[in-house]
Amino acid sequence: MTIVNYMNKKEITFTILPSVFWYISFGLFYKFFVLGILISAVILGFLSIVLFRNYIHWIRIKSTKLKSIVYSTGLGLIGSLILYTIFILGAFFLAYLNLAFQVEELYSSIYSVISYMKQQILLYVGLIIIGVFEEIYWRGALQEIFGKYLFDKTKEYWVFPSLYYTFVHLPAFNIALIAAAFVIGFVNGFLASKVGILTTTIAHVLWLEYVIMLPLTVYI
């Protein structure tokens, strides 16, 4: 029997939703996928808070509140730099494979959103919202739902929602984007299981801002 056989209807519906939202965002409105992901992340994040707030662990570190916050924040800063460094290396690798156009296509979509919004600052704010609410849903609520049913079988239960996070990005048909989802899913999935989503939220938000302020196209 699979995990789905044990989940209740609310949990199953909650789990399926991103496969629909991400498909619509990437498959039907790819040129403006950032807006689609923004709307999807906010919906899923609010549902997480309303339905599964007790599953969300911002800090798992057992220490004083101040030390835990400082430690989690520091790890988030380091994590964001690691994620962006991996992305730079990935850009070089795609260029080596003559696939640099995949990165350029990604930025073309992002710049379309900037043009549509008229104000670049709105995109920066939108990316913060995406980073926060994606972590609340993916590494907060959903990951712990998987942990609820899989923890006794494997302490690495976070791998499964991380794979799912990669899977929902497949409709984009963009190697750079799918690779990014894979890296973020696994790095943040691991960190969330160990230290909580305050760290992964900081890492995710800062990484998104780096991607816009320090475009990968500079390296290819």
Helices (H) and strands (E) in the chain, counts: 9, 0
6-9 long-range contacts, Cβ below 8 Å, gap at least 24? 6/149, 7/145, 7/149
Q: How many CB atoms lie within 10 A of CB 144?
A: 22
Q: What does the pLDDT average to over 64-86?
A: 95
Do residues 157 and 151 touch, judged by C-beta distance below 8 A?
yes
Query: Model pTM greater than 0.85?
Result: yes
Total count of domains within the chain: 1
Query: For residue 174, which of 109, 80, 82, 81 has the smallest C-alpha distance?
Result: 109
pLDDT at 219 over 60: no
Chain segment 148-185, per-residue pLDDT in tens: 999 778 889 999 999 999 999 999 999 999 999 999 99
Do residues 42 and 21 touch, judged by C-beta distance below 8 A?
no
Q: Domain containing 38: what range? A: 3-219
Chain segment 97-122, per-residue pLDDT in tens: 999 888 888 888 877 776 666 677 88
Do residues 31 and 109 touch, judged by C-beta distance below 8 A?
yes
In degrees and rounded to multiples of 5, residue 151 shows phi and psi of: -55, -40
pLDDT at 216 over 70: no
